[in-house]
A = this chain, B = another copy of it.
Amino acid sequence: MDELRALRYFSKVVETGSFTKAAKFFSVPPSSLSRRVADLEKSLGATLLKRSTRVVKVTEIGKTYHDQIQDILNQLEQSNEAVRSYHAKPMGQLRISSMVGFGERILLDLLDEFGELYPEIILDVSLSDELSTLGRDDVDIAIRGGYAPNERVQAIRLMSNEFIPAAAPGYLEKMGTPESVLELQQHMGLYFRTPNGPSPWLCEIKGQWVDVSPPQVGVSNNGKWLAGKAVQGKGIVMAPRWTLEPYMQRGELQELFFDHVLRVSQNAELAVYLLYQKQRYLVPKVKVAVDFLVARVQAKY
């Protein structure tokens, strides 16, 4: 019995819920699928599917098996592809997913340069703060604030993602420059929105984490918009240093320093990470892109 073929058949039948549809997918008669799946069930000594002429239902154990098999088939496919493209030129479609802010400020410029270096790579970039799966089939490289979701994913630290508070000089003249975190209650806060909601302003006082968030005057996941509001004197913005840097250099914003260091997370080392699947590093297009991005970003920041 060609077990792998049987597994692919079974998997497709579960997905489509029909032997006929799955058979069309493989361009073989439905009888083949029926026989292979039956073989599989016999060899496992378990019923995976409950069939009737109208509906195909998956049994409980069949569902569990299918989930595991699916993962295994994906892994195998990836390993094969990695070997197949081993000595090929970097080419083909490369899907990159990035946090919006990082994408706009840093990534897109770099990718223009990258595109000229490797014209045979077709870039497919999507900017989103939602975390994409990376492990299914959808993304080759992801850039995120978090860390690796599992051990098959490699995470490389690209740059610091330290959040700092800043405000416009005009705002500080009018409202006074706060020096203690407790004074923040009398100020206005511009909040960065993460996928988990607006990030609170925290600090550690005598070993205790305290939320010292000022009243909200604006929330956005868009660094530019937040910085713009701050420049207009609408409040104090708390955002990654690299989003505020240009404003600070022009003197439109200035960094604030408090008696206790402000953070947005209890995790000490907030950073931007580049993520990719270890298996796929063998694929030339992935390898050159990872190497390129890591080198460029780490050189600049």
A residues lining the B interface (CB < 8 Å) = 2-5, 44-46, 61, 64-65, 68-69, 71-72, 75-76, 79-80, 82-84, 86-87, 149-151, 207, 279, 282
* Cα–Cα, bound, A44→B282 (Å): 14
- The interface residues of chain B lying within 8 Å CB-to-CB of A86 are 46, 61
- Docked pose: A88 CA to B190 CA in angstroms: 60
Residue of B nearest to A45 (CB): B84
**Cβ distance A269 to chain B, nearest Cβ, rounded Å:** 15
Q: Which B residues touch A69, using CB under 8 A?
A: 76, 79
The minimal Cβ–Cβ distance linking A261 to chain B, given in whole angstroms, is 12
Task: Name the residue of chain B whose CB is nearest to the CB of A278.
Answer: B68
Contacting pair B282 A61 (CB below 8 A): yes
Q: How far is the CB of A63 from chain B (nearest CB, A)?
A: 11
List the number of copies, as a whole number.
2
Q: Is the CB of A282 within 8 A of B64?
A: yes
A84 CA to B43 CA, complexed, in Å: 8
* Residue in chain B with minimal CB distance to A76: B72
Contacts of A282 in B (CB 8 A): 61, 64
A44 surroundings in chain B (CB, below 8 A): 80, 83-84
What residues on B are CB-neighbors of A46 within 8 Å? 83-84, 86-87
- Measured between beta carbons, the chain B residues less than 8 angstroms from A80 are 44
* Nearest chain B CB to A119 CB, angstrom units: 23
In-complex Cβ contact of A61 among B3, B68, B83 (8 A): B83
Pairs across A and B, CB under 8 Å, 5 listed: A4-B4, A44-B80, A46-B83, A46-B86, A150-B151
Within the assembled complex, what's the spacing in Å between the Cα atoms of A69 and B80?
A: 9
Q: Closest approach, in angstroms, between the C-beta of A122 and any C-beta of chain B?
A: 21
Q: How far is the CA of A65 from the CA of B75 in the complex (A)?
A: 11
Q: How distant is A148 from chain B, measured CB to nearest CB, in Å?
A: 10
A2 shortest CB reach to chain B, Å: 5
> Closest chain B residue to A61 by CB distance?
B86
Give bound CA distance, A76 to B75, whole Å.
11
Q: Which of B3, B68, B87 contacts A75 (CB 8 A)?
A: B68
| Closest residue on chain B to residue A48 by CB atoms | B83
- Closest B residue by C-beta to A67: B79
Residues of B within 8 Å of A84, CB to CB, are: 44-46
Smallest beta-carbon distance A286→chain B, Å: 14
Q: How far apart are the CA atoms of A202 and B2 in the complex, in Å?
A: 58
Which residues from B are CB-within-8-Å of A79? 65, 68-69, 72
The CA-CA distance from A150 to B207 in the complex, in Å, is 31
Q: In the docked arrangement, what's the CA distance between A151 and B150, Å?
A: 6
Instruction: Give the residue among A68, A75, A84, A207 with the most B Cβ atoms within 10 A.
Output: A68
Chain B contacts of A150 at CB under 8 A? 150-151
Q: How far is the CB of A45 from chain B (nearest CB, A)?
A: 6
